[in-house]
Amino acid sequence: MANIRKISELAGVSVATVSRVLNNPSTVSEETRNRVIQVIEEMNYVPNSIARSLTTNRTSTIGLIIPNILNPLYPSIAKGVEDVFYKKGYNILLSNTEYDAKREKACIEMLLSKKVDGLIICSSALKNTEFNIITKQKVPFVLLGDYVEDSDINVVYTDYLLGAYMATTHLIKAGYKTIAHISGPMNRRVSIEKLEGYKKALCESGYKYDDEYVITGNNQIDGGHLALKKILKKKGKPDAIFVANDLMALGAIEAIKVAGYTVPGDIAVVGFDDIDVASLVEPKLTTITHPVYRMGLTAARLLLDNVLTEEEECFKQKIFIQPMLKVRKSCGYDNRIEEIFS
Amino acid sequence: MANIRKISELAGVSVATVSRVLNNPSTVSEETRNRVIQVIEEMNYVPNSIARSLTTNRTSTIGLIIPNILNPLYPSIAKGVEDVFYKKGYNILLSNTEYDAKREKACIEMLLSKKVDGLIICSSALKNTEFNIITKQKVPFVLLGDYVEDSDINVVYTDYLLGAYMATTHLIKAGYKTIAHISGPMNRRVSIEKLEGYKKALCESGYKYDDEYVITGNNQIDGGHLALKKILKKKGKPDAIFVANDLMALGAIEAIKVAGYTVPGDIAVVGFDDIDVASLVEPKLTTITHPVYRMGLTAARLLLDNVLTEEEECFKQKIFIQPMLKVRKSCGYDNRIEEIFS
DNA sequence: GTGAAAGCGCTAACAA
DNA sequence: TTGTTAGCGCTTTCAC
């Protein structure tokens, strides 16, 4: 492979001049520049980014850490992130963590050792102290869908508690009496907040909270399926369920059908995320919607600002996004309203 | 940030010894080794991968090039690839190309300049000559879902022509007379082969091929929607449609409903890919299934062999995968059979 | 078992 | 405008 010295020799100039043509073309006379460019093209020369990174201390690479690319939420986020960074000449180094805190830590360590210019971390289980490892290396990062009190950390956050509250309240208003909850992995702040929102809604309406009606799932389809079966076994049929994400909601609906019940007739379901599929399944899923692709964009832009800033210290932001309730069929709201008013 | 020299000074040894502890612990006496390890841990030292890469000429990074992460096909593939490579200590550098040949070329160039150890390229529009750029740099790569005659190229390939043939033949056997086709972008070999399979099936059954019944879409939901509207406008209602991928099939079904027709009653639909959603929508989508996650795994393993091989030349493989027809509701086969036999 | 030193390919400060 | 040269942080010969 050709390197910069070879090019410089062929063009009859110094390596510095070749480097200038590459990085500051205007500082080289037109004549020399053209000669160098010609050699570069003839030789199909492409500079070695690794060597460049070693001197510049920049890699034009961003690390993206997500729990599981198979959850349609994350491709949307990844697309948002990539759409921003591709334009600026950055690549994305992707890692799945499978909701495993150990693996999360290992990924971050790998990405840091590869000297990414920035990091976007989705739904992490890391402690505040662990973010210090990143901060200490002066690598800017953004937490996406996760929240940390520390004011020195960038956050793009949906108000999950509110979303869960809205979902549960909606079920209460529709007249359901026994409302179960399938939660996500409990080492995630996101899951805890959704549970809190669920509790808050119950409490405000004078419903009794019963933790036997709360089952934890793995955020995937099969987890929802399993969780629903557990609920049926343990407590019998609830009227309604608020499920912490759409994927599990789909699994739960499947399990409800398998058990011989109908949705929403026997059990109403509300999910969370509003993934594309939600409006395609039967019955169409009532869910909490938040602008996932846009959150990816937002996090990326926020990070980009921090990456490009020369100053050591730059302003950190916490961006909150308000979720919305999307009423479709699976919550049986329409039917209920008729019942209530007839 | 601590570097290897600092560690060596603190441990009272040379940098070479620290490097040995890191890479060949057994060549260092236990006493020295422990002392070095202790310093490393105290300082939270993590070696700089960039510097390491510059000397070793290996980055432990694999480039993955896909058209669009929002098509659920590709997260599955990405998961397969990552599952293999994560275990071996590699990271994945991900690029979306948006089915754009220019962007594909640019991505490959970027990834090569970042010195990835290997490359997995999905559904490319590159010419044979362009693969030589990669070969010349001695970077092993695998084509996934694409095919090139050159015997010196690794390929993991579904027999798309056969799949399309199966889909179309199925519609013919079900008794449909006017069968349209929504194809993918025609700069993709995959799309061309599917069209060929469609033609072959028509031809063998004595149907006349009419290219006015073939509309090209963008492989996304909206593309299917649009394509269907075009067909209706141009040629009126066909009996059935074979759609080149499931995403477009979903869009087409939507458009059919909007136009006031039913699926499969008025227009039968068969897709291609068998993405998860296919079995969740209403009507459930009849489609051609191929083991996407497994293809990702397979491509990754194949690449891994090539990456790990010290020898310049290693055996290249072409792995063919046979697709299968998955009959669900959208093709109306059941109804037809009843009609035919009653 | 350990250390000294060359060098990976590039950038950037300084000199000319 | 151009060239010389010192690193960037590591691995890897080659001595000892």
Distance, CA of A72 to CA of B73 (rounded, Å): 11
What percentage of chain B carries pLDDT values higher than 70?
96
Q: What is the DSSP string of A94-120?
A: EEE-TT-HHHHHHHHHHHHHTT-SEEE
Is the pLDDT reported for residue B168 higher than 60? Answer: yes
- Find the mean pLDDT for residues A198-207: 97
For residue B121, the model assigns a pLDDT of 96
Distance, CA of B230 to CA of A324 (rounded, Å): 35
Residue closest to C11 C1′ by Cα: A55
The predicted-structure confidence for A241-293, as pLDDT tens digits, reads as follows 999 999 999 999 999 999 999 999 999 999 999 998 898 888 999 999 999 99
For residue B152, the model assigns a pLDDT of 86
Is the pLDDT reported for residue A222 higher than 80? Answer: yes
Cβ contacts (< 8 Å) between A132 and chain B: which residues? Answer: none
For residue B315, the model assigns a pLDDT of 85
For residue B281, the model assigns a pLDDT of 87
Cβ contacts (< 8 Å) between B113 and chain A: which residues? Answer: 46-49
**Residues in chain B, overall count:** 342
- Find the mean pLDDT for residues A322-334: 91
For residue B340, the model assigns a pLDDT of 47
Residues 31-60 of chain A: which lie with beta carbon within 7 Å of strand D? 31-33, 51, 54-55
Q: Is the CB of B57 under 7 A from strand D?
A: no
For residue A341, the model assigns a pLDDT of 46
Is the pLDDT reported for residue B59 higher than 50? Answer: yes
Angle, helix B15-23 to helix B4-11, in steps of 10 degrees:
100
- Find the mean pLDDT for residues A181-204: 96
Distance, CA of B295 to CA of B273 (rounded, Å): 12
For residue B312, the model assigns a pLDDT of 63
The predicted-structure confidence for B299-321, as pLDDT tens digits, reads as follows 999 999 999 986 667 789 999 99
For residue B342, the model assigns a pLDDT of 39
Chain A CB within 8 Å of residue B50 CB? yes
The predicted-structure confidence for B238-282, as pLDDT tens digits, reads as follows 999 999 999 999 999 999 999 999 999 999 999 999 998 898 888
Q: Is the CB of B55 under 7 A from strand D?
A: yes
- Using left for φ > 0, alpha for ψ between -120 and 50, and beta otherwise, residue B241 falls in beta
Distance, CA of A326 to CA of B134 (rounded, Å): 48
pLDDT category at B115 given cuts 50, 70, 90 is very high
pLDDT category at B222 given cuts 50, 70, 90 is very high
- Find the mean pLDDT for residues A178-189: 95
Distance, Å, B27 CA → D16 C1': 16
Distance, CA of A162 to CA of B76 (rounded, Å): 32
Pick the more confident residue, B77 or B281: B77
Instruction: Let me know if B136 is exposed, middle or buried by CB neighbors in 10 A (0-12, 13-18, 19+).
Output: exposed
> Which A residues in the span 167-206 are in contact with B, Cβ-Cβ below 8 Å?
none
Nucleotides of C under 7 A from a protein CB: 1-5, 7-13
Q: Which positions ≥6 away from A153 have C-beta within 8 Å? A: A131, A141, A143, A316
Helix, strand counts (H, E) of chain B: 13, 12
For residue B338, the model assigns a pLDDT of 55
Is the pLDDT reported for residue B127 higher than 90? Answer: no
For residue A340, the model assigns a pLDDT of 47
Give the mean pLDDT of chain A: 93
Q: Do B113 and A277 touch (CB under 8 A)?
A: no
Give the mean pLDDT of chain B: 93
Distance, CA of A186 to CA of A191 (rounded, Å): 6
Q: Do A113 and B280 touch (CB under 8 A)?
A: no
Which of B43, B45, B94 to mutate to test binding with chain A, by most A CBs within 10 Å of its CB? B94
Q: Is the CB of A29 under 7 A from strand D?
A: yes
pTM above 0.85, yes or no: yes
pLDDT category at B118 given cuts 50, 70, 90 is very high
Angle, helix B221-235 to helix B246-258, in steps of 10 degrees:
50
Closest by CA position to B183, among listed B163, B213, B204:
B213
The predicted-structure confidence for A289-302, as pLDDT tens digits, reads as follows 999 999 999 999 99
**Which uninterrupted H or E stretch holds B226?**
helix B221-235
For residue B248, the model assigns a pLDDT of 97
Is the pLDDT reported for residue B333 higher than 80? Answer: no
Question: Is A335:A327 a contact under the CB 8 Å cutoff?
Answer: no
The predicted-structure confidence for A9-45, as pLDDT tens digits, reads as follows 999 999 999 999 999 999 999 999 999 999 999 999 9
CA atoms lying within 13 Å on the CB side of residue B189: 18
